[in-house]
Structure 1
Amino acid sequence: MTTNILILCTHNSARSVLSEGMLNHWAEQQGSDVRAYSAGSMPSGRINPFAIEVLQAAGIDTAGYRSKSWDEFTGDSAPRMRVVITVCDSAANEPCPYWPGSPVQIHWGYPDPSNAGSNEAEKRAAFESTRQAIGERMRQLAQVPFDTLDDAQLRAALQRL
């Protein structure tokens, strides 16, 4: 059974998108039955072009990526999430909606690369650095034996990553 993971950031334009792309990439590479999604509490309506650029440079297909609301994942027809991860501090401090199935929730904060640098080269470098940091954690996440862990064990495993 596929393990669905929702990754949240307020605007769903950078860190959550990088996380979605990297987790789906690593899950496919490792043969893990994991599917990542991303969303935001106040989606910007557009993905930061630097996020798309660094994902594509890493060989990740970004076709169909879009900035979307977390509301898309609260309905009866939405995929059932096993894990919900916040990757920005503001999203972690917002009251989350009710998630069907009561998934394990965890916060892994990353600095916003959109706020880094004063020119394109510095911003591009910040996005690549963030992609690499997120990518390493997502590589480890794709290796978690979700089917063998209860929620308490899963929460402990995620806290160790």
Structure 2
Amino acid sequence: MIGYLALDVGRARPDLLPALQNPQEPIMRDTDFDVLFICSGNSARSIFAEALLRDLGQGKFQAFSAGFAPKAEPDAFALDVLKRNGHSIEGLRSKPLAEFQKPDAIVMDFVFTVCDTAAGEECPPWEGQPITGHWGLPDPVKATGTDAEKALVFAQTYAMLRRRIMAFVALPFESLNKLALQHGVDAISTEALKAEKV
């Protein structure tokens, strides 16, 4: 019970759970890392992140995405941005977070929220104590104006996520321990926000 409560309060962050694991042990893995991106509708931001990590991760990652209230399908503007940037959209679909909370679901190594709504949602602690991160970005689906103006907002959101994904895949996973990786993930958001305010 104590362990469960600690996991719930700490959201399985290694910097908040020193008594339950050894965060100083290096990851030292050659196998794929499983990474889940979550947003509210799973139609744009988390879809972007899934496609970006899949293509920029050089085979080191398996990328997934989900939403608390998923749309029927990914947004057409989002899919168009992906295609124009050379990504395959095959297999991309909007899906509920529940798919990744089943007893037989893949145990994630990293879980990212990419919208503030998803970050505020209550959900059970993740199996395996994944490293977590929050990359809150405005929802491009809510953009108004002409189609060209909407497309620009989607392109800007894609660019912001690409910047974060490139920083993420550049982390030295094989040499960092879990605590250092958590700090590295946290720094990505901080540095990206600084760059975008310039």
TM-score bucket of the superposed structures, by smaller chain: over 0.9
Output one character per residue of 1:66-109: Cα deviation in whole Å (capped at 9) or x when no partner.
10011111223322211100000000000123321111111111
Tell me by how many angstroms 1:43 deviates.
0.9
1:145 aligns with 2:175: no
Q: Deviations over 1:104-134 (max 9, x none)?
A: 1111111111122311111101001110110
Aligned to 1:5: 35
Amino acid at match of 1:3: F
Report the Cα distance in structure 2 between the residues aligned to 1:4 and 1:149, rounded to whole angstroms: 17
Q: In terms of Rg, which structure is larger?
A: 2
> How many residues were matched structurally?
158
Question: How far apart are the structure 2 equivalents of 1:142 and 1:42?
Answer: 28
TM superposition shift of 1:61? 0.3
Aligned to 2:78: 51
TM superposition outliers: structure 1 runs of 4+ over 4 Å: none
Give the TM-score normalised by the residue count of structure 1: 0.92
* Stretch of structure 1 that moved more, 96-105 or 49-58: 96-105
Q: Map of 1:8-19 to 2, 5 A cutoff?
A: 8-19=38-49
2:56 pairs with one of 1, 12, 26: 26
Map of 2:108 onto structure 1: 81
Identical-residue share of aligned pairs (%) = 36
Please give the root-mean-square deviation of Cα atoms over the aligned residues, in Å.
1.3
Which blocks of at least 5 consecutive residues in structure 2 are unaligned? 1-30, 189-198
On the 8 A contact 1:3/1:146 being kept in 2, the answer is no
What residue is the counterpart of 2:121 in the other structure?
A: 94
Cα distance in 2 between the residues matched to 1:65 and 1:41 = 17
Query: Where do 5+ consecutive residues of structure 1 fail to align?
Result: none
